[in-house]
Amino acid sequence: MRIANDRQHGSPLTPRPMFAPGHFIREAALDPSPDGRVSIETARRPRGAARVAESARRDPARRDARERAANPVRAVVVTGASSGIGRACTLRLSEAGFLVFAAVRNPRDFEELGREGSERVVPIRLDVTDPETITAAVRTVGERAGAAGLAGLVNNAGIAITGPLEFLPLDDIRRQFEVNVFGQIAVIQAFLPLLRADHGRIINVGSVGARFALPFAGPLNASKAAFELVSDSLRLELRQWGVPVVLVSPAAIRTSAGSKLVRDSESTLQRLSAAGRSLYAAPYRGFVQALHGLEAHGAGPEVMASTVLRAMTARVPRRRYPVGPRSRLLPFLFDTLPAGLADRLRLKIFHVPSRAASAAE
Ligand SMILES: NC(=O)c1ccc[n+]([C@@H]2O[C@H](COP(=O)([O-])OP(=O)(O)OC[C@H]3O[C@@H](n4cnc5c(N)ncnc54)[C@H](OP(=O)(O)O)[C@@H]3O)[C@@H](O)[C@H]2O)c1
């Protein structure tokens, strides 16, 4: 097969390497042109079309394979596509040739994406905590993707709720889990039939913070740890259908999440009782500044997007991809250091005193 020659000639019909594990190269290999070269055109024009159509009509599996061959652009859904990592993934995957359903929560972002008018990016409305928007999104994607199904679902949407566990309202902690855990499961459940149809991949965005807790990040760390375990279970359950489940675990990535953290932390402080503010305002602000600083010096979101593309296109994806500065080192350190030392280190890095100072705010 001389696909490499086609690539050298720069043919627009040249299959990209990302499709190597996919469908139309297999189709093309079955049907080379007389000079031995292979192109998508060749794959699209089978000989004995009437015979093939008849057998495809009788055999739904063959029909699905033929539909995929006829429509080699594979579809992916990215949640939380309005900003940061989700936006970068949307751009990168669409540049690589995927049709990206960019799922956004806010009508304003939906309209903005629509105005950008990229033919490989289809905006859809989706709030992971709102079952109606999930159902509508699945319907839209199903109509467009058809029997070819979905090649991937990138579960990226997420929020960060931080604050002193002693005083945080339970509803805030529930909200953290609604978005980062239950919402993700709801979206996965809803898209699974479409994913199964194309042996699509589920790419879950976890966090390095799932492996070690930070002071004041209890809700966030706990939600990501729960999501990682959900992701592990799902990987084992879906293996039998050839639906890989991949976890991408970022450390510090430079996105607007850092400024949202600062903004939200002030409103969290305002909602605490006077006693809560007096006890925790200073160390909590210290933590927020430290975390914001680390994220501001983190990797750009395009690094995450490249990893997500790799996870989407690798012949056999890894189970876990750490991304960002020290994303391998930190979990290793906190696993191996003596517990007392690991605690002192975290308190120091996040500017949280190990002894309470004065109670004044
Ligand atoms: N940045 C980092 O250093 C870092 C580190 C570890 C893990 N992560 C994870 O990476 C993912 C993306 O984070 P980011 O840094 O890119 O932050 P971001 O810019 O704040 O993006 C978060 C995205 O999630 C969306 N979202 C929030 N609640 C939603 C809901 N209920 N339904 C649907 N979408 C919702 C947001 O939409 P709106 O714009 O409408 O709010 C936004 O598009 C998150 O899961 C985060 O936990 C990030």
Task: Report pLDDT for 54.
Answer: 60
Question: What is the CA(326)–ligand 1 centre distance, in A?
Answer: 20
Task: Point out the least confidently predicted range of 41-55, 200-214, 232-246.
Answer: 41-55
Ligand 1 pocket, CB under 6 A: 79-80, 82-86, 105-106, 126-129, 156-159, 179, 183, 205, 207, 250, 252-253, 255-257, 260, 295, 298
- Which of 219, 208, 227, 203 has its CA nearest to residue 328? 208
Mean pLDDT, residues 283-291: 97
Q: CA-CA distance, 45 to 70, in Å (whole number)?
A: 9
Ligand 1 centre distance from Cα of residue 83 (Å): 7
Determine the residue of 77, 79, 82, 291 to mutate for testing ligand 1's pocket, defined as the one with the most ligand atoms within 8 A of the Cβ atom.
Answer: 82
Cross-strand pairs, 125: 104
Quick one: which H or E segment has residue 213?
none
Task: Say if CB 246 and CB 202 are below 8 A apart.
Answer: yes
Read off the pLDDT band of 202 (50, 70, 90).
very high
b/e burial code for range 347-360 (CB count within 10 A of at least 16 → b): beebbbeeeeeeee
Ligand 1 mutation target, pool 100, 159, 256, most atoms within 8 A of CB: 159
**Distance from Cα 160 to the centre of ligand 1, integer Å:** 8
Eight-class DSSP state of 41: H
Alpha carbon distance 267, 272 (integer Å):
9
Work out the mean pLDDT of the chain and round it to a whole number: 85
**Best residue among 207, 294, 304 to mutate for probing ligand 1, ranked by most atoms within 8 Å of CB:** 207
- CB neighbourhood size of 345 (10 A): 13
Summarize pLDDT for 161-201 with one digit per residue, the tens.
Answer: 999 999 999 999 999 999 999 999 999 999 999 999 999 99
What pLDDT, in 10s, does the model give residues 294-326? 999 999 999 999 999 999 999 999 999 999 999
All domains of the chain in start order, with CATH: 3-70 (no CATH), 75-253+300-324 (3.40.50.720)
The protein residue whose alpha carbon is closest to atom 46 in ligand 1 is: 158
Dig out the tokens for 280 from the structure: 């925790």
- DSSP-based three-state secondary structure for 119: coil
The whole-angstrom distance between residue 79's C-alpha and the CA centroid of its chain comes to: 7
Q: Is the pLDDT confidence value at 29 over 80? A: no
| Res 50: pLDDT | 55
